[in-house]
Structure 1
């Protein structure tokens, strides 16, 4: 699948509806996760299980979204 088609698909099904897309990778003895909502993205969120890595990514994404809202309000 071409990259432009994959990006269009992700935009249509995830970002357009306001949903969060995340990806978890395995790095030997830890898991790394990234999460994005189409406008804000966080990377390098680590955990000992895939669930904790995903939870850390979603927590950091929520924190980043709140920080950008505060900056935009000023």
Structure 2
């Protein structure tokens, strides 16, 4: 069994964003959706729905971003901002 970074896709109220993807990236999303469908037994009808969980996962696992965010939060707290 392949270990993918994404699991089941959570159905949440979306915010509409329009982007253009290179054709190669779109083909990769389609392939990823096919593999995820097989692995998770959850039908992925629209591969573009993978973009939000992928970006969320990227942000969640980006240590540099987490460190910068903590530092920013601490600076706001120590300066009295909420």
Provide the TM-score with structure 2 as the length reference: 0.30
Q: Which has the higher contact order (CA 8 A, sep 6+)?
A: 2
More helix by proportion, 1 or 2?
2
TM-score (norm 1): 0.32
Larger Rg: 2
